[in-house]
């Protein structure tokens, strides 16, 4: 029992640490390159939506904070990355529109129980869609030089760790399904990023 508790604490804190720096490699890559080639804006928007819905669900039902503390950090990092993408794509005029949509959506989520429940039921599909859009972007560009392998590897680890922490704490099936799906898709994106790295490309 004590061993399980220690493992749970390790999983919680390692996930929190991983998520504290998860998006930083991607942010640095984009800033250095001043380009967002291979990074999908639509994927990021869906991911941000999924994060907001998921953390709202956990907070609404008073889940233990260690189970979702990383999400506010991830949301903040996604916002920074979104601003960079809009800046380098010269679309900063859309930033206020996105801000209004996300803030308004978050307020709407917490108004009624049925709203948060319904939103959470499609949260996995939203998050899965974000990964598939990123994969599509990579398949089209065949260039992952602007995409951070470390970011996606950390995302994969955090989901796998959360499968364990959720299993031994709340056992919430809906949450578990989400983490399993996200772990598989994150690993798929990670493998694709590695495959399309310039040094890894096969010569014709």
pTM of the model: 0.80
DSSP, collapsed to helix, strand or coil, labels residue 184 as helix
Nearest to 137 by CA among 127, 128, 147: 147
Residue numbers of the chain with a pLDDT score lower than 50: 200-204
Give the per-residue pLDDT at 97: 86
Give the per-residue pLDDT at 161: 93
Give the per-residue pLDDT at 25: 93
Give the per-residue pLDDT at 180: 95
Give the per-residue pLDDT at 104: 85
| CA neighbours closer than 13 Å in the CB half-sphere of residue 55 | 19
List Cβ neighbours of 42 (8 Å cut-off, separation of 6 or more).
Answer: 130, 133
Number of domains, the chain: 1
Which range marks the domain in which residue 194 is found?
2-200
């Amino acid at each position: 029992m004590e061993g399980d508790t220690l493992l749970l604490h390790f999983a919680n804190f390692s996930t929190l640490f991983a998520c504290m720096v998860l998006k930083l490699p991607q942010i640095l890559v984009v800033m250095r390159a001043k380009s967002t080639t291979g990074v999908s804006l639509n994927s990021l928007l869906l991911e941000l939506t999924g994060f907001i819905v998921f953390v709202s669900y956990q907070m609404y039902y008073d889940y233990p904070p260690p189970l979702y503390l990383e999400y506010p950090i991830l949301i903040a990092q996604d916002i920074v990355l979104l601003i960079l993408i809009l800046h380098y794509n010269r679309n900063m005029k859309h930033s206020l529109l996105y801000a209004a949509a996300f803030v308004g959506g978050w307020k709407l989520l917490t108004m009624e129980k049925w709203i948060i429940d319904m939103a959470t039921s499609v949260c996995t599909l939203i998050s899965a869609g974000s990964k598939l859009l990123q994969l599509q972007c990579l398949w089209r560009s065949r260039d992952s030089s602007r995409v951070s392998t470390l970011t996606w590897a950390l995302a994969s680890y955090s989901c796998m760790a959360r499968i364990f922490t959720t299993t031994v704490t709340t056992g919430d099936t809906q949450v578990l399904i989400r983490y399993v799906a996200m772990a598989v898709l994150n690993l798929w994106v990670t493998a694709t990023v590695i495959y399309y790295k310039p040094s890894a490309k096969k010569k014709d």
